[in-house]
Amino acid sequence: SRQWLQWLSSRLPAFDALALYRVEANSAQLQTALPDGHGFDARHAKLALSCIDALKVLVSQDQEHSKVGSIAVPLKINYAASEFVMIFYGPLLDAAALKSMVQLVRWAAFYLHENAMLGAPPTATSTVGEGKDSVDDFSASVLRAVASSHSFDALCISIVNAIARISGSARVSLGSVGHREETVLAISGHAQLDPKRLLVKQIGAAMHGALLESPAIYPISHDASEVADVLTTDVGVKPRAQQALFELSGSQPSVAICLPTYTPASRSQEYVLLLEAPAGKALSAERIHMLEKTLAPIANLLMLYRESEAPVYVRLWTRLREYFKLPGTQQSWSLSKKLTLALPCILVVLALWPTQHRVSARAYIEAADRQVLVAAQAGYIKSSHARAGDRVNEGELLATLDITDLALEADKWRTEQSKNAQAYRQALAIHDRAELSRLRADAARIDTELAQVKQQLLRSELRAPFTGVLLSGDLNQMLGAPVEQGQVLYEIGSAEQYRLIVEVDEHDIGYVAADQGLAVKMSSLPSLQWDATVQNILPVALAEQGKSVFRLPALIAGDTDLLKPGMQGVAKIHIGDQSVLWVWTHVVVDRLRFLAWKLGLY
């Protein structure tokens, strides 16, 4: 483990000290540390225990220096509980650097975990090749290959080359095997692979047999058959693909080893290593056992590396498959297969299942009869007797204007009328015909002016033209204020007859027709619903709030006592039955079709 720490420290950012803790029975024991004199104390042991309990990386800042602290990393595989914790003391890292460091530590932990480097050191007989290199040397070689690889393909090539060099194999191949196809990822001594070559195809076929029996050995020697009797499910099945590879490669014995993974969801795609010994050299049982033990962590190493390069949606899909994978169910690939088969069925059902197509529109209530009351002439407000919201009867006085100027003008014309009458009598007495003609014309003019003033005096009183409700107008705050001729003072609507106005967007007006039914709810009465019928389609669009709408009158059925002019709500116009898929997508499809036509795409 100390050798492992030394190798790891050379690959990591500069830390002041590293320590490896072993957690057993709620206690953390220091296994080894670099350098020896660094003071790892009870605080670090407590941090190691907390790290195992939380099963995640923990960062603890130093009380004296905020930029210095301890980082605890659980040595685990795919979030399985681990008994060991690495603690790094020194400058704290940013998020990106910390993620890279944790990834490298966990990759190295696979070999640390599988090859017993945390416990008793491997014996001298624990060799991979022909007594040349130990398990430690083999693991270090693979880790060096990992450290020097910057992509998944480079990692595969580095691994097969390292295994071929350390194990003494004539050729080592790495592949990914599924239930229907196999892919050769790397072959030792080959920088690039041509999948059309016969050798590559034959190696892939030989790897496929490892899904049924691992290790798949050919030819099966006396010693190797003992291994096969224990580890395979059907020894009698002759590995025909390996036999063909044996004949093609010049009588090189081979063993195909299916690498175990620690996540059940990964069983849909397994990694297989195919090792070919030099011609005429037998594969011993001890050597095969050692190969299986030593090569076991490579699958998880490859999985982590591939996941780190995968797009976000692929990683999300992998997490979902692992989340929904329950004990006792089928393999995770069956879930994706079911979803793949179910999706077209769901789309067909949605395309055929009928539902009601409804168009939503803004609705409001307005009086059927409306009339405005305006100032008959310029003047001043003298009195006010009603305000908006009041119910008024026909002929009821609503307000009056100041008539002082009109009364003076009426008196002036009455005086002129008296003078004209007196002059007319004098001219009649002396038989002055010319004067009589002039006085008759003046009398007609004076009568007209006086009648006009009297009419203005009558219109200075604003009275309700019919029984109804005042929709707008409140002159109580405007007493004495001047008004101009024609200025709107009141708006009155019928108190008995209301009508519903529905504003339909121009994109939906093509679906609406006269006599279609609709349901409406008012925002002030959300628990009640009224039924109505579209009366007619007015061919006039109004621009409101940046869009064009059509105002359609509708006739309300049933009791309308609770409805008041000015109420607003939402109406749902019943168009007809359509498929669920059409109802959900027709808006987007119509917009895209119009956009394509606008851009000249068709």
**Per-residue pLDDT tens over the stretch 438-465:** 888 888 888 888 888 777 777 777 888 8
Task: For residue 72, give the 3-state DSSP assignment.
Answer: strand
* Helix, strand, coil tally for the chain in percent (to 5): 40, 30, 30
Alpha carbon 312 to chain centroid distance? 14
- 284: its two tokens: 């011993």
User: Which of the four pLDDT bands, split at 50, 70 and 90, describes residue 424?
Assistant: confident
Rounded to an integer, what distance in angstroms lies between the CA atom of residue 345 and that of residue 340?
Answer: 9
CA distance 405 to 411: 10
Closest CA to 502 of 563, 561, 568: 568
Q: Per-residue pLDDT for 25 more than 70?
A: yes
Strands 482-483 and 379-384: antiparallel
State how far the Cα of 415 lies from the Cα of 295, in Å rounded to an integer.
128
Close Cβ partners of 239 (under 8 Å, ≥ 6 residues apart): 206, 209, 213, 216, 217, 218, 256
Residue 572 clears pLDDT 90, i.e. is over it? yes
Distance from chain centroid for Cα 224: 55
pLDDT digits (tens, 9 = 90+) for 29-76: 888 888 876 778 888 888 888 888 887 888 888 877 778 888 998 875
Angle at 362 between CA 356 and CA 363, to 5 degrees: 100
Over the stretch 189-215, which tens digit does the pLDDT of each residue have?
A: 888 888 888 888 888 888 877 777 777
Q: Which residues contact 211 (CB under 8 A, 6 or more apart)?
A: 177, 179, 258, 270, 272
Q: Which of these ranges, 6-10, 84-88, 324-328, 459-463, has the smallest mean pLDDT?
A: 324-328
Residue 431: DSSP 8-state: T
Q: How many residues does the chain have?
A: 602
Q: Which positions ≥6 away from 467 have C-beta within 8 Å? A: 391, 392, 393, 394, 495
- pTM (two decimals): 0.40
Bridge partners, 6 (sequence order): none
Amino acid identity for residue 135 in this structure: V
pLDDT at 520 over 90: yes
pLDDT of residue 1: 62
Residues 6+ apart with CB under 8 A from 566: 364, 365, 366, 471
User: With bands split at pLDDT 50, 70 and 90, how would you rate the model's confidence at 584?
Assistant: confident
Query: What is the SS3 assignment for 581?
Result: helix
Cβ–Cβ contacts within 10 Å for residue 126, how many? Answer: 17
Q: What pLDDT does residue 269 have?
A: 73
Sign of the Cα pseudo-torsion (74, 77, 78, 83, in order):
negative
Question: Tokens 């908006």 — which residue?
Answer: 388
Give the Cα-Cα-Cα angle 196, 201, 206 (nearest 5 degrees). 175
Angstrom distance (rounded) from CA 13 to CA 11: 7
pLDDT exceeds cutoff 50 at 237: no
Q: Please state, in angstroms and as integers, the Cα–Cα distance from residue 140 to each residue in 146, 159, 260, following that order.
A: 10, 11, 20
pLDDT at 489 over 60: yes
Mean pLDDT calculated for residue range 249-277? 75
User: What pLDDT does residue 436 have?
Assistant: 82
Identify whether the C-beta of residue 407 lies closer than 8 Å to the C-beta of residue 453.
no
The CA angle 259-264-265, to the nearest 5 degrees, is 105
Q: To which residue do tokens 């121009």 refer?
A: 506
* Non-local CB neighbours of 268 within 8 Å, separated by 6+ positions: 178, 179, 331, 332, 333, 336
Contacts of 557 (CB under 8 A, 6+ apart): 530, 531, 532, 533
CB of 295 within 8 A of CB of 259? yes
531: helix, strand or coil: strand
Would you call 469 helix, strand, or coil by DSSP?
strand
pLDDT tens string 105-163: 776 675 555 444 333 333 333 344 443 444 555 656 666 666 666 778 888 888 888 88
577 beta partners: 356
Mean pLDDT, range 486-515, rounded to an integer: 84
Q: Give the separation between CA 275 and CA 286, rounded to whole angstroms.
A: 15
Distance of alpha carbon 184 from alpha carbon 168, whole angstroms: 21
Flag whether pLDDT at 24 surpasses 50: yes
Residue 172 has pLDDT above 60, yes or no: yes
Least confident stretch, 16-25, 28-37, 59-68, 319-328: 319-328
The radius of gyration computed from the CA coordinates of the chain, to the nearest angstrom, equals 48
- Residue range 162-189: mean pLDDT, rounded: 84
pLDDT score of 54 = 80
The two most distant CA atoms of the chain are separated, in Å, by: 166
Q: What is the dihedral of CA 375, 380, 382, 386, to 10 degrees?
A: 40
Where is pLDDT greater, at 221 or 454? 454
Kindly report the average pLDDT of the chain as a whole number. Answer: 77
Give the separation between CA 9 and CA 3, rounded to whole angstroms. 10
38, 8 contact by CB (below 8 A) = no
88 has which bridge partners?
18, 71
End-to-end CA distance of the chain: 70
